[in-house]
Amino acid sequence: MSEKELCQICHHRIAEHKFVRVIDGVSKSYRVCSHCKALMDNKYAELRREAARRAVPVEMRKCPVCGMTLRDFTETGLLGCANCYKVFDDYLLEYIRGYHGATTHCGMDASVPAPVDVETLYRELKDAADAQDFETAAKLKKEIEKRWGTANE
C-alpha cells in the first residue's frame, strides 16, 4: 500500500490489510485495519456457523423455546415464538418470498412482535450475507436481535 489510507469500515484507523472479494463477477477490493479485519473474520466464522446450522434439514429442526416444528408451522401458518424466526429463518425467507405479489401478505400470528419489520430485516440480512457485506449483515443482525431479545443461543 503506497499511501496511508483509512480503513473502509471504521474510517478511523490506518488500513493495513487489503483483500479482494468477487461479487457477481465484479471484484471489489477493500482496505481495512487489523481491528476491523478481526471483526470481519469473526463475522465470517459466525456466518459459517449459521450455514452449518442450516445444513440440518428444516423438517428436523425444533424450536428450543416453544418446541414448534416445521410441521406445526405448515399446518397452522403461525410461529410459536420469536425464537422460531431464528430456527426456521432460511425456510421463512423462502416462505416470505413465495408470498411476494400475493394478495394476502402472510398468515402469521399478530402477537408475534413486529413480523413485517423483521421480515424486511431478514431479507436485507440475507442479501448482505450473500454479498459478503459483513458490516451491513452485522448491523442487521443486531437490529433483529434487539427486536426479539436474545431468546436463547
Examine residue 115 and tell whether it contacts Zn ion (CB under 5 A).
no
Residue 135: which H helix or E strand, with range?
Answer: helix 134-148
Q: Among residues 47 and 66, whose Cβ is nearest to Zn ion?
A: 66
Q: Which amino acid is at 111?
A: S
- Choose between 28 and 101: whose C-beta lies nearer to Zn ion: 28
* Cβ neighbours around 148 below 10 Å, total: 18
Min. distance of Cβ 30 from Zn ion in angstroms?
A: 10
Indicate left, alpha or beta for 149 from its phi (over 0: left) and psi (-120 to 50: alpha). left
Answer yes or no whether residue 36 interacts with Zn ion by CB under 5 A.
Answer: yes
- Under the criterion CB under 5 A, does residue 84 sit at the interface with Zn ion? yes
Is the Cβ–Cβ distance between 7 and 33 less than 8 Å? Answer: yes
By the rule CB under 5 A, 80 interacts with Zn ion? yes
Residue 12 vs 48, nearer CB to Zn ion? 12
Q: Distance between CA 45 and CA 37 in Å, rounded?
A: 12
C-alpha cell at 131: 454479498
Q: Is 7 in the site for Zn ion (CB under 5 A)?
A: yes
- Pick from 47, 58, 65, 93: which binds Zn ion (CB under 5 A)? 65
Positions touching Zn ion (CB under 5 A) are 7, 9-10, 13, 33, 36, 63, 65-66, 68, 80-81, 83-84
